[in-house]
Amino acid sequence: MPRTEEANQRIREEQRAKILDAAWRAFAKKGTAATMAEVAAEADVSYGLVYRYFSSKEAIFKALVEQMLQSGVLRVQRLLDQPGTPGERLTSLITKILEARRERSEIFLLFQHVMSDETMSEDVRKRLQERGQAYYDGMRQLIVEAQATGEVVADDPDQLVVALMAYLDGLSRLAARESEMLKEHFPDPEIVLRMLKP
């Protein structure tokens, strides 16, 4: 007697999730260089099964990127519409970003991998590019507002955003490398906020 449809449905969802999880680990570690065999091994699944769930390596990447985009981690917008003065909102935003980078560093690492891998499909990179731009724009806007209220230093806002982004990206890389240094001495948000202090 065949399995019930729901049972199959469940199996499919679980396996798909299991494989994507494994892919996260594999790709975050090695980027595009990770092999399908590694993904399969990491998921504790046979080689061929990966292809039952994803038509190609590229397809897995796309699914990961999709998860990344859905996850909300990369969405600044929702963090902008908060109560408080611009400066308070900026502080809150950066604090939250730092938490996210610390806890879900794979996401940012994969993001960087994809962006710097020229073999990645233009399609996928473009979507991430746009999200990155939105991220940048949101941050810039908040800074400009905070400058108006005098809560942030009156430097070139673009330089400030670039500095902020560089800092955050650098932290992600350190976090991904699982550096002991970082774990024990994760910099207090206070420190980066000083870059913006008037």
Contact positions vs DNA (CB under 7 A): 1-3, 7-8, 11-12, 15, 34-37, 45-49, 51-52, 55-58
The structure tokens 């998860």 sit at 67
Return the H-helix or E-strand segment holding 188: none
What's the gap between Cα 138 and its chain centre?
A: 16
Radius of gyration of the chain (CA): 20
Q: Which does 56 bind (CB under 5 to 8 A by kind): a copy of itself, DNA, none?
A: DNA
**Shortest Cβ 83–a copy of itself spacing (Å):** 27
Give the residue with the Cβ less far from DNA, 9 or 129. 9
> Phi and psi dihedrals of 53, rounded to 5?
-100, -25
Burial string for 169-179 (b: 16+ CB within 10 Å, else e) reads eebbebbbeee
Binding mask 10-29 for a copy of itself (x = CB under 8 A): -------------------x
Contact residues for a copy of itself, defined by CB under 8 A: 2, 29-33, 46, 112, 115-119, 136, 153, 155-156, 158-163, 165-171, 173-174, 176-177, 181-182, 184-188, 190-192, 194-197
